[in-house]
Amino acid sequence: MIYKAILKHGYSEFIIEILEYCDSKDLINREQYYIDLLKPEYNILKKAGSRLGSIQSEETRARMKGRKRSEETRIKMSSSKAGENHPMFGKLHSKKTLSKMSSSKLGDKNPMFMKKHSEETLAKLVAAKKNKCQKIEVTDLTLNKTTIYDSIREAGRALDINQARISVYFKNNQESPYKGRYIFKKVQ
């Protein structure tokens, strides 16, 4: 809002001014005093101290900063940015932007640079991957053989079939043999 107003009216129409020097412990109260007195046009919040401005006790404010939002609030926040409401809906990043995003995670900029996962973390990652995988049974009608694979990916590799094709088979609830040869079934 301020940026647009500066572009519209010019820098000369705005001033930055220190209204009062005070102790940091009095900062929120003094900020609220000036918000109430001057009613500034460009303040988004009417209470000093961000979303915690209405809470006067330092202890309460400190406790609230670590507060987790309710599941209902998180769902509302998430859905407000879903689909057409998402700022990137229908847009693609340029190659230049993708390159910058990629290079920003290389070398010492990567949070895992020169670090290794602990054995415990590695075990958790492997277990999570196994739990996420869908076991499938593949019947090869040509060889008259049935094989159970730990995942769609594993079956795809073994049969030289793109795993996306197998996923589409399940998504479309196909029953006819894939390429006249393979029948896929999910294992419970």
Q: For the segment 54-111, what is each residue's pLDDT rounded down to a tens digit?
A: 444 555 555 555 567 788 888 888 878 877 888 888 888 899 998 888 888 888 888 7
> What CATH code is carried by the domain that includes residue 136?
1.10.10
Choose one of 65, 100, 117: the last residue of a domain: 65
Q: Is 110 a member of any domain?
A: no
Confidence (pLDDT) at 79: 79
Confidence (pLDDT) at 53: 42
pTM: 0.35
Q: Is 113 a member of any domain?
A: no
Residue 145, pLDDT above cutoff 90:
yes
Vertex 125: Cα angle to 98 and 100 (nearest 5)? 10
Residue 168, pLDDT above cutoff 80:
yes
Structural domains of the chain, count: 2
Torsion of CA 156, 157, 160, 165, to 10 degrees: 20
Residue with tokens 């009095």: 26
State the Cα–Cα distance between residues 148 and 164, nearest whole angstrom: 18
Residue with tokens 């919040």: 45
Reduced to 3 states, what is the DSSP secondary structure of residue 145?
A: strand
Q: For 9-55, what is each residue's pLDDT tens digit? A: 888 888 888 889 999 889 889 989 988 898 887 776 778 876 544 44
State the Cα–Cα distance between residues 182 and 185, nearest whole angstrom: 10
Q: Is 40 a member of any domain?
A: yes
Residue 138, pLDDT above cutoff 90:
yes
Residue 1, pLDDT above cutoff 80:
no
Residue type at position 68: K
Q: Is 25 a member of any domain?
A: yes
Alpha helices (H) along 81-176: 95-103, 119-132, 152-159, 163-171
Q: Is 163 a member of any domain?
A: yes
Q: Using only the alpha carbons of the chain, give its radius of gyration.
A: 29
Q: Is 92 a member of any domain?
A: no
28 touches 19 (CB < 8 A): no
Q: Is 12 a member of any domain?
A: yes
Mean pLDDT, the chain, whole residue set? 83
Percent of the chain with pLDDT strictly greater than 90: 23
Helix axes 163-171, 152-159, angle to 10 degrees: 120
Choose one of 48, 65, 82: the last residue of a domain: 65
Reduced to 3 states, what is the DSSP secondary structure of residue 140?
A: strand
Give Cα 68 to chain centroid, integer Å: 16
**Residues shown for the chain:** 188
138: part of which helix (H) or strand (E)?
strand 136-140
Q: Is 142 a member of any domain?
A: yes
Domain range spanning residue 156? 132-186
Residues 6 or more apart whose Cβ sits within 8 Å of residue 110: none
Residue 187, pLDDT above cutoff 70:
yes
Choose one of 65, 90, 117: the last residue of a domain: 65
